[in-house]
Structure 1
Amino acid sequence: MFEPVRNVSGVRTAAGAADGTGWSGVRGKRVLVTGGTRGLGEQIVRLLTAEGARVATCARNALDLDVLARSLDSPVYTRALDITEPEHLESFVAAVAKRFGGLDGVVACAGGSRGGRFETTDTADWSATWEANVGHAARLIRAAVPPLRAAGGGSVVVVSSISGWKPGPPVQYGVAKSAQIQLAASLARELGPDGIRVNAVSPGSMLIPGRRWDRMRREDPETFAGFVAAELPTGRPVAPQEVARVVTFLLSDWSSGISGAHLPVDRAQNAPSPDGY
């Protein structure tokens, strides 16, 4: 006889008896994802909605959000905003919690880097990179704690990077991503008594259309081939869909024992760029 368990949305189910696969999944969970219109964020939103979650996402471009929403079979709640603008992100979290009647999970996926090599990167570049990654993640989590706590707990996933734990330029990006890993580990302990789990996921170099590695593959195939041969033992970069599956698992009840973890999803990649260590 299966032992009854309680998931983070408060619905009692039988352990292992959710659907045909035996996986309870994320069906019915209320999840907010930042940066959900492109790359990894888009794949997370697509997978969550396909698995039956109620999803909200934000991005700077309203047209991109509209295109995403129209392409999905399930409705998604969206808002155009800049995650670095004071109170904009916090207001969106509150609106999502009100619309969904609570929250079960959040994913800090938006991020980025400003500036170049160390000697040409100024203070403003460092500040902008920090705010886009660490500042945004901290503000998202802080705003989400009350509705997550009210739901009896939940799951937070911070999307870091291979650059956060393996050195490579640009340094300001690596430092910010490293701080995100520490943020997740520290908050897992602080928020654990509220039933809130916090984990960090570090993707390796992802092959995303139009982004750095895709451009290199098309424009400089020799350098790309050398990078793959030297740093990627499986012979190819990780796909964003592979990372999205790990994020979705961490949002599910099947990962209930995982908190404060840092999960690389990089196909055993070595250096994060052709520059090496």
Structure 2
Amino acid sequence: MSLSGKTWLITGASAGFGKALVREIVARGGNAVAAARNLDDVADLVALAPERVLAQRLDVTRPGDAESAVAAALDRFGAIDVLANNAGYGFLSTIEEADDAAVRRQFETNVFGPAALMRAALPGMRARRSGFIVNVSSTAGSRGFAGSGYYSASKAALEAMTEALAGEARELGIRAMIVSPGPFRTDFFGRSIALPDSEIADYSAVIAQRRSYAASDGLQQGDPVRGAAIIIDTVTGDDPPLRLVLGGKALPTITGAYHAKLADLARSEPIAPLADFPEGE
């Protein structure tokens, strides 16, 4: 489907899904704001179509950058049709190993940054009664994974915000979607993973799992080029879902997490009503 005349603002455009999205948007005739911390990392994207690709410096943790990016997009292209919050990284730490600064960095990047961009883009979308916000989550957003609890928590928060926005803005002509990828062959583990400053040997099983993630980098089944095309097809298709799951391993991981939650909730069925006042009181 042609994207001629449509403008996407993509964060984290320097690699992975972000770069693949920009390439696919350009190939379909659309405009792209390729946002990244280092403009040299997106110079190749601008070269694809200089008149339709704007390189925008953006650090989602820096105050004012979200507003500047949206303003630059509006100044260049007049409107933002789709905001794709793709920038983020994974912090692989047990709850105990992390220090306060590392936890705050995780949430500044994965939660507060996307929130600032949504707040900056929504007024224009609301005025036009048209727009789409895509927030890239992870299978980790479906439950707290041992060894990456803070990352899981940040993605769960992003998903909850997206759900709320979908309910708030749909009547205003604005749609929202959560993208939940499984393992994809990007350089996520090479450049988008942080580790705790020190490890606690008692968590040996988690530490071993941490090592296995790095060893599997480059062998993942997920193809970011195919994934980017599916995201665009879904956004531009009829009645997009709130959740788009990508990758053969992702769906069983997420559905398994929800089945486990439902089974655990069932244990509270006879207990929950006991906390109420007796009927008639």
TM bracket, shorter-chain basis: 0.7 to 0.9
Q: Provide the residue aligned with 1:127 in structure 2.
A: 104
| Aligned: 1:91 with 2:72 | no
Q: CA deviation at 1:211?
A: 3.6
Structure 2 distance, partners of 1:163, 1:74, is 38
Of 25, 34, 39, the residue aligned with 2:16 is: 39
Q: Provide the residue aligned with 1:238 in structure 2.
A: 222
Structure 1 distance, partners of 2:186, 2:49, is 19
Higher-helix-fraction structure:
2
- The code of the aligned residue for 1:68 comes to L
- The code of the aligned residue for 2:104 comes to S
Aligned pairs for 1:132-143 (under 5 A) are 132-143=109-120
Q: CA deviation at 1:27?
A: 2.5
- Shift of the 245–84 alpha-carbon distance from structure 1 to 2, 3 Å rule, reads same
Which deviates more, 156-165 or 114-123? 114-123
> Are the equivalent residues in 2 in contact too, given 1:105–1:148 (CA < 8 A)?
no
Instruction: Count residues in correspondence.
Output: 232
Q: Can you list the C-alpha shifts for 1:113-169, whole angstroms capped at 9, x where unaligned?
A: 346232211121111111111111111111101211233311110000111114423
Q: Provide the residue aligned with 1:184 in structure 2.
A: 162
Structure 1 distance, partners of 2:7, 2:84, is 11
- Shift of the 196–110 alpha-carbon distance from structure 1 to 2, 3 Å rule, reads same
Structure 1 distance, partners of 2:89, 2:11, is 12
| Aligned: 1:66 with 2:50 | no
Task: Show structure 1 runs of 4+ deviating over 6 A.
Answer: none
> Are the equivalent residues in 2 in contact too, given 1:107–1:159 (CA < 8 A)?
yes
Q: CA deviation at 1:45?
A: 0.7
Of 218, 232, 235, the residue aligned with 1:251 is: 235
Of 182, 193, 198, the residue aligned with 2:176 is: 198
> Are the equivalent residues in 1 in contact too, given 2:3–2:30 (CA < 8 A)?
yes
Task: List alignment gaps of at least 5 residues for structure 1.
Answer: 1-22, 214-222, 229-234
Q: Provide the residue aligned with 1:262 in structure 2.
A: 243
> Are the equivalent residues in 1 in contact too, given 2:3–2:28 (CA < 8 A)?
yes
- The code of the aligned residue for 1:178 comes to A
Aligned pairs for 1:159-174 (under 5 A) are 159-168=136-145, 169-174=147-152
> Are the equivalent residues in 1 in contact too, given 2:30–2:52 (CA < 8 A)?
no
Secondary structure (helix, strand or coil) at the match of 1:119 reads coil
Structure 2 distance, partners of 1:210, 1:118, is 21
Which deviates more, 64-73 or 181-190? 64-73
> Are the equivalent residues in 1 in contact too, given 2:183–2:247 (CA < 8 A)?
yes
- Shift of the 73–51 alpha-carbon distance from structure 1 to 2, 3 Å rule, reads farther
Q: Provide the residue aligned with 1:17 in structure 2.
A: none
Structure 1 distance, partners of 2:184, 2:141, is 15
Task: List alignment gaps of at least 5 residues for structure 2.
Answer: 192-211, 255-259, 261-281
Aligned pairs for 1:12-31 (under 5 A) are 23=1, 25-31=2-8
Q: Can you list the C-alpha shifts for 1:37-83, whole angstroms capped at 9, x where unaligned?
A: 10111001111111111111211112112233225586310122311
Structure 2 distance, partners of 1:227, 1:128, is 25
What do you get for the CA RMSD once the two structures are aligned? 2.8
**% identical equivalent positions:** 29
Secondary structure (helix, strand or coil) at the match of 2:4 reads coil
